[in-house]
Amino acid sequence: MLGSQELGARGPSGVVTAGPWSTRDTFIAETAVTIDRLTAKIERLERREDALAQRVTELAEHAQQASRFQSLAESLRNSRDYKLDEMIRLVKDVRGRVDALEGPRPDYNNLTHKSFIAIDRKLAELSAAQAREADRAGRLQPGSLAIGFLAATVVASLVGLIF
């Protein structure tokens, strides 16, 4: 082929350092370096993309958690409001029942017993009076039995005299 023709100058290591293809080799070397740099840049961008994707996932989870907390807070607020409304309704119901038991308010002003202490004293007086009446009734019963027994003996003696 080329035979004894020298294609380029060789360095001490046997690598061709000069020749007709040196321009092409320079272009290839620069292109290889550029491709290596682009490859490194793409790898960095891919790592950054993965990190950003992970961050977006974390932010989405955080947003979902915040949404759940917000719905829980609203649920608790609605529950509290419902309980308050129910309590107000029950208090109004009890107030209406107490008013029905007490009667009209103007009549209450004319009562002589306006406290539980006064009512307790009056109940004690009434129970003492009732106990006295029960004692009197108890004393009359043995007397009525004696009178009944005498009446029975009189009737028996009269029946015995007649027959």
Instruction: Give 63's Cβ-side CA count (13 Å radius).
Output: 6
Q: Pick 30 or 134 by higher pLDDT.
A: 30
Can you list the pairs that 47-53 forms with residues at least 24 positions away whose Cβ atoms lie under 8 Å? none
| Per-residue pLDDT tens digits for 66-108 | 999 999 999 999 999 999 999 999 999 998 888 887 767 666 6
> In this structure, are residues 25 and 32 in contact, taking their beta carbons and an 8 Å threshold?
no
What distance separates the 2 farthest-apart alpha carbons in the chain?
188
CA distance 118 to 114: 7
Q: What is the mean pLDDT of residues 111-138?
A: 78
